[in-house]
Amino acid sequence: MTASPETPSNTLEPGPVQSLARGLHLLELLAADEPGLTLTDLAQRSGLPPSTTHRLLKGLEQRRFVHHDIDSGRWQVGVQAFTVGSAFVRGRNVVALARPFLRQLVDRAGETANLAVEDAGEAVYLAQVECSQTMRAFARLGARLPMHCTAVGKALLAAANPEAAARVLTGGPLPKLTPRTVTDPQMLTGELLTIRGRGYAVDDEEQAVGLRCVAATLHDATGEALAALSVSGPSARITDSRLPDLGRLVAETCQEITRQIGGAGKTPLAEPLSGSS
């Protein structure tokens, strides 16, 4: 599930800054809805008058940030948005460096491999190599998912400092995406301690029913977590007996990437999260 973009503040000063914020918000709405949206849908979701929405879309269209499909009447993300987004990925050298390891994980685990980072309290997927199985996991690149119910998110939280992790876990109600999603901050705090001691995190059908994921983190020279790697697949294939082996495989892969980039290994979490008992 992709988090919905927040509505731009109505307190923005009128003029170019407000128009820019509104235009970017329309772009975010389109990015969150892959088939695209009609003018009416965009106006309703953004809270803008249809005339204003259309004017902003035409401006974005001129710069190729959005595209209007005449047959369906839907507006969609344009090629220029991809170009700008790709510049971010190119700047994250860890993506290019990790890609061979993602392929290696797929070969060894037989499951889909993913790379994700933390941004604004969410896990964002930057790269993926799919396995060849008929039934396989899939995460759309750029997708944003809650950290408390994804393996990559929990791995990143476990690697973060206690205060940063506590802000994510106690900053507001945590969505319950499946019957197995843990939303209690105290229980999640204990799980983060387990992850730090074990070296890998597990999503046991917590983000999607029938899907299991195992993840670990890679680190920079200061020991800070740069990203998380995971393998994911149907719970029918990622059985209880396979979890430890997959966990060690992902953790060892992350350690190898960390060594290649001159990073430092993570240290155990020696104290509970701020605000927890």
- Predicted confidence pLDDT, tens digits, the chain (277 residues): 344 454 454 444 457 788 899 999 999 899 888 789 999 999 999 999 999 999 999 999 999 999 999 989 999 999 888 777 766 555 457 788 888 999 999 999 999 999 999 988 899 999 889 887 765 565 677 788 999 999 999 999 999 988 999 999 998 899 999 999 999 999 999 999 999 999 999 999 999 999 999 999 999 877 889 899 999 999 999 999 999 999 999 999 999 988 887 777 653 333 333 333 3
Domain boundaries, the chain: 16-84, 92-260
Interatomic CA distance for residues 148 and 230, integer angstroms: 15
CATH of domain 16-84: 1.10.10.10
**Which CATH superfamily does the domain covering 92-260 fall into?**
GAF domain (3.30.450.40)
